[in-house]
Amino acid sequence: MSATIQTLEPAAPSMTSRLDGELLEVSMGPQHPSTHGVFRMNVALEGEIVRKLKPVFGYLHRNHEKIGENTSYLGSMPYTDRLDYFCSMTNNWAYALSVEKLAGIEVPERAEYLRVILAELTRLQNHASLLGFLLSDMGAWGTPLMYAFREREKILDLFESLSGSRMMCDYMRFGGCRVDAGADWVERAKKIVDLFPRFLDEFEKLIVENEILIARTQEVGKLSAELAI
């Protein structure tokens, strides 16, 4: 049994004529190394200048709404973790707040404080990771990302000791939280928060003094108020 191999010439990129030159139309995604997630952009380029961009959404739709029609209110809680695994706690909280408002459920004060603390810890690790990925994508390689992940891992350790999971915690419950935080957990959280400003000072140097970041962000992508409106 024999097989025939055909060699196909790569398709030429489409070109759109302009009075002052030519635009190169490029389809980026939905899978692309520069995007964290599945997202497509149809981009019209003139050299390195983006003249036109059309976003194509929907690749990350999880059918969460339809799934919720066939499960209980509590059964939907784990799905909120997966809407953004970097923000598991805050996604849990948003859903819990919605159900509590509909059902008229009052949350104990201690649980409210614990929810806020967890949401703020989520914000710290999320934003640190965001900046690390941004610098890495811009060509600053892995150093900033490793600094960010060092702090992120400390916070994820806290989440794991409290909920049993580092990223998809399924921790919030209607009327409170799944388990209370012990005194030792609170002390660990305090130490991490107290040391976080030192990380910010280190990270600021990586950002402010980073020539790659400066070259690729200053005077780039400016949009006047008149053009935006």
Neighbours of 176 (CB within 10 A): 19
| pLDDT the model gives residue 184 | 95
| Residue 6: inside a domain | no
- In a shared domain, residues 46 and 104: no
This prediction has a pTM of 0.77
- Is residue 50 domain-shared with residue 90, that is, in the same domain? no
Residue 14: per-residue pLDDT: 47
| Domain-located, residue 136 | yes
DSSP tag of 87: G
Indicate whether 124 belongs to any domain. Answer: yes
User: What are the per-10-residue average pLDDT scores of the chain (229 residues)?
Assistant: 42 45 82 75 87 86 86 93 90 96 96 96 93 80 84 95 93 95 95 92 82 81 82
CB within 8 A of 38, min separation 6: which ones? Answer: 29, 30, 31, 59, 60
- CA-nearest of 167, 173, 34 to 96 is 173
pLDDT at 21: 60
| Percent of the chain's residues with pLDDT above 70 | 89
Same domain for 205 and 95: yes
Does some domain include residue 3? Answer: no
Please check whether residues 149 and 99 belong to one and the same domain. yes
**7 lies in some domain:** no
Q: What is the pLDDT of residue 207?
A: 80
Residue 177 lies in a domain: yes
Say if residue 91 is in the same domain as residue 204: yes
Dist. CA 33–CA 112, nearest whole Å: 40
Provide the angle, in degrees to the nearest 10, between the axes of the packed helices 109-135 and 88-103. 140
Given a contact cutoff of 8 angstroms between Cβ atoms, the answer to whether 59 and 38 are in contact is yes
User: Structural domain of residue 123, as residue ranges?
Assistant: 66-217
Number of domains in the chain: 2
Residue 102, domain CATH: 1.10.645.10
Tokens encoding 62: 């999880």
Q: Are 95 and 82 in contact (CB under 8 A)?
A: no
Q: Is residue 128 part of a domain?
A: yes
Asked if 98 and 160 sit in the same domain, the reply is: yes
Residues 35, 77 within the same domain: no
Tens digit of pLDDT for each residue in 173-214?
Answer: 999 999 999 999 999 999 999 999 999 888 888 788 778 788
pLDDT score of 176? 95
Do 85 and 52 reside in the same domain of the chain? Answer: no
**Residue 31 shares a structural domain with residue 80:** no
Q: What does DSSP say about strands 172-173 and 176-177: parallel, antiparallel, or unpaired?
A: antiparallel
